[in-house]
Homo-oligomer: A and B are copies of this chain.
Amino acid sequence: MTSEELSVRKLEQGDFDKGFLTVLGHLTTVGDVTREMFEEQIRRRDAVGGYHTVVIEDNSRIVATASMVVELKFIHGCSKVGHIEDVVVDPAYRGKRLGLKLIEALIESARGDGCYKVILDCAEGNVPFYEKAGLVRKEVQMVRYLDR
């Protein structure tokens, strides 16, 4: 299919067999995630609510994905914020605006959920990409890794 024909849909249980974790592996360490762990994590996230994971499939393989978790706030009249996370496109499918399609789908979900804003953290080099999706540079992200 041409990239224009590739559509965005929600993550499904069957995506374990379509290389969902392989695509995530282009972003960061996935580790040993079994089918059972994957299915249980989808169930947990569904039970909690507020999770949106979207994917793009081509030839029965997941080639791009992005997630969002919606946070319930007290500020702004007990409003909500969408945190966009784990955006990744298979290297063979980059430059086809698939990432942009995913971000736009998540922004629509954020609107639907009543979020007053969406936020995300990205590497300096990805700022121009997210600017195309209408985001603007705001603050500094900081991290602390925890020894477990």
Contacts and interface: CB of A to CB of B under 8 A. Distances in A.
A127 to B, nearest CB: 6
A75 interface: yes
Contact of A136 (B123, B138, B143): B143
A29 interface: yes
Nearest to A82: B146
A112 to B, nearest CB: 10
Secondary structure call for the A interface: mixed
Interface bracket on A: 35 or more
Contacts of A72: 41, 44-45, 48, 51
B146 A120 contact: no
Nearest to A103: B144
Contacts of A28: 75-76
B127 A136 contact: no
| 9 tightest Cβ-Cβ pairs between the two chains A and B | A31-B77, A135-B142, A139-B141, A138-B143, A121-B139, A135-B144, A41-B78, A117-B145, A69-B71
5 contacts: A28-B76, A30-B76, A33-B74, A38-B74, A136-B143
